[in-house]
Structure 1
Amino acid sequence: MKTASLRKDLNYNEDKVAISVMMETETAKEIRILFRKGQTMKEHKAGFPITVEVHHGTIEFGVNSEKMTLEAGDLISLEANVPHDLLAHEDSIVRLTLSKLDKVERVKNVVE
Structure 2
Amino acid sequence: MKFADIQEELEFNEKKPLIKVLFETAFTKEIRIAMKKGTVMKEHKTSYPIVVQIVKGNIDFGVQNEVFDLNEGKILALDGGVPHDLKAKEDSVIRLTLTKNDDANRVVNVSNITIA
Fold in common (TM above 0.5): yes
- Larger displacement relative to structure 2 (1-10 or 83-92): 1-10
| Distance in 2, Cα, partners of 1:86 & 1:70 | 10
The CA deviation string for residues 50-99 of structure 1, in whole angstroms up to 9 with x for no partner, is 00000000000001110010000000110110010000000000000000
SS state at 1:101 partner: coil
What residue number does 1:89 align with?
A: 89
What residue number does 1:42 align with?
A: 42
What residue number does 1:60 align with?
A: 60
| Distance in 1, Cα, partners of 2:31 & 2:16 | 16
| Distance in 1, Cα, partners of 2:111 & 2:28 | 21
TM-score after normalising by structure 1: 0.97
What residue number does 1:69 align with?
A: 69
How far has the Cα of 1:20 moved from its partner? 0.4
TM-score after normalising by structure 2: 0.94
What residue number does 1:25 align with?
A: 25
The CA deviation string for residues 12-68 of structure 1, in whole angstroms up to 9 with x for no partner, is 222211000001000000000000000000000011000000000000000111001
| Distance in 2, Cα, partners of 1:63 & 1:24 | 27
- Unaligned stretches of 5+ in structure 2? none
Letter in 2 for 1:6: I
| Distance in 2, Cα, partners of 1:105 & 1:19 | 9
Query: CA contact under 8 A between 2:19 and 2:111: conserved in structure 1?
Result: no
